Chains A and B, each alone.
Chain A
């Protein structure tokens, strides 16, 4: 038995029929999960058969959509469907064992849908990094086209200098006893990190 995993799209309308056909074909129900998005959720349903793990992703389910329960086909799903209702506020209809919002008693309603300041900051940072990377690539492409030779010449010395210094240090470290060398390396890494921030 070999393990494989795939992610494939699924439409919300066909979810229930899809679950029934999975049941018919002898697949094992693995799990259901939700991922919070700005205006809705992604739902991931996983099934497994002979080592093949298939994750069916329903993208961008609107918050007010009604999602049919698959717990009539796979009873084990009732746990996750109640959980998704309580934490993400997704309306799932006809759950076999329906707790009607009392599965978890939490202090705030639908806690997983709240976008925390940390998450927002992380997203902004990621967007900035992506933008900077794109800009850099663009600039590099432009430079290469315009004056490839000159730019390369200008860049080279400083790079060479750094590489030479690093090589010298490596040689020195190799001569030291390993424990001390490891300490020096750790200190250098810490410094580099500090400088980077």
Chain B
């Protein structure tokens, strides 16, 4: 056995899309310990609630992360609505979920592309991002934005989607489904991809529970939890919702779970488009959250459960706003998955966890 050496990894690194720094303690070619270091993107936006009132802060909340933007604005709005006892119209709830599921498709396609790039499959990366552009076009048509949508407000949504556009969304997704099937079959059957991912970075079911992991990372280790199964908002009207699980807990299982989740999101959108009720898309919200009132909320982001907390102080500004994002919850799991892996597998394992650093640091 060789001597243990510390290898710094990141923040600027060719395989990392985001600035994450890891100190990898390596013995020969095996990683024996790993220390994540963050803080490169820390902005301190939770303190901005003091300078922006609760209506303005939604635009800050969705800029926590450009990939999960829709989810953050939704989670923030739901929390403030809970705090102030606001009832959102049914149509608004449906529209929110349609956009949220679209952004899950965009996020997972983005991730599939990055994963393909991580094992050197660049053409597959390009194909994933080509498909993703169609979802972004739908965003642009319905909201005007490509990544930051700004359609949710406290009390409802800002824009409606008319019937013709809803049908177009379904038509585009149906077209996407067919092409997506060929990409997935490549990803899941290709021998070289299997060689790199099967049995790599394994997290057992017990470990996943022990480390309180969330999201697809946990579901790949058969943790039966997805916030959508709590049936809140429009999710409660779905005829059936079962989290997508896998039992292997390795990189391959995590790819498989995310691949299936895209199809699940398409099915959810189709069902909601068929069921969407007519009516208002927003209610007027007046007044301020009461002094000392507090509310919490959980929401399934593309990367897993996100927790929100808000406390009022009687003024238009909140006393405290807090988001616990899925990646910060999964950091412990990431350290566990990296321990004992080969140095060459580090980028693959980090990517299959799908870390979102700007969410983590805020």
* A–B direct contact (CB < 8 Å): yes
Task: Establish whether residues B328 and A126, one from each chain, have CB atoms under 8 Å apart when the complex forms.
Answer: no
Choose, from A61-69, A104-112, A153-161, A174-182, the stretch at the interface: A104-112
- The total of chain A residues at the interface (CB under 8 A) is 42
Task: Establish whether residues A76 and B315, one from each chain, have CB atoms under 8 Å apart when the complex forms.
Answer: no
Task: Establish whether residues A79 and B331, one from each chain, have CB atoms under 8 Å apart when the complex forms.
Answer: yes
Choice from B212, B288, B296 contacting A28 with Cβ under 8 Å = B212
Docked Cα-Cα span, A55 to B295, in Å, equals 10
Known contacts being A123-B315, A126-B313, A129-B314, is A30 close to B230, with CB within 8 Å? Answer: no
Determine the chain B residues whose CB is within 8 A of the CB of A33 once the complex forms.
Answer: 309, 320, 322, 324
Min CB distance, B184 to chain A, in Å?
29
Q: Is the interface of A mostly helix, strand, loop or mixed?
A: mixed
Determine the chain B residues whose CB is within 8 A of the CB of A31 once the complex forms.
Answer: 307, 309, 324, 329
For the A-B complex, the count of residue pairs with Cβ-Cβ distances under 8 Å equals 113
Q: Is the interface of B mostly helix, strand, loop or mixed?
A: mixed
Residue B267 at the chain A interface, CB threshold 8 Å: no
Docked Cα-Cα span, A93 to B231, in Å, equals 39
Determine the chain A residues whose CB is within 8 A of the CB of B358 once the complex forms.
Answer: none
With a 10 A CB-CB cut-off, give which of B46, B315, B328, B333 has the most chain A CB atoms: B315
Determine the chain B residues whose CB is within 8 A of the CB of A122 once the complex forms.
Answer: 50, 313, 315-317
Task: Establish whether residues B324 and A30, one from each chain, have CB atoms under 8 Å apart when the complex forms.
Answer: yes
Residue B130 at the chain A interface, CB threshold 8 Å: no
Instruction: Beyond the given A76-B332, A78-B331, A126-B288, please list 7 additional residue pairs across the A-B interface where CB-CB is below 8 A.
Output: A51-B230, A76-B211, A76-B330, A104-B39, A104-B361, A118-B317, A126-B315
30 pairs from A and B in contact (CB 8 Å cutoff): A3-B232, A5-B296, A28-B212, A28-B225, A29-B212, A30-B298, A30-B305, A30-B324, A30-B329, A31-B307, A31-B324, A33-B324, A35-B311, A46-B296, A46-B307, A48-B298, A55-B296, A55-B309, A76-B330, A78-B332, A79-B328, A104-B38, A104-B42, A104-B361, A112-B44, A116-B50, A118-B50, A122-B315, A125-B315, A127-B314
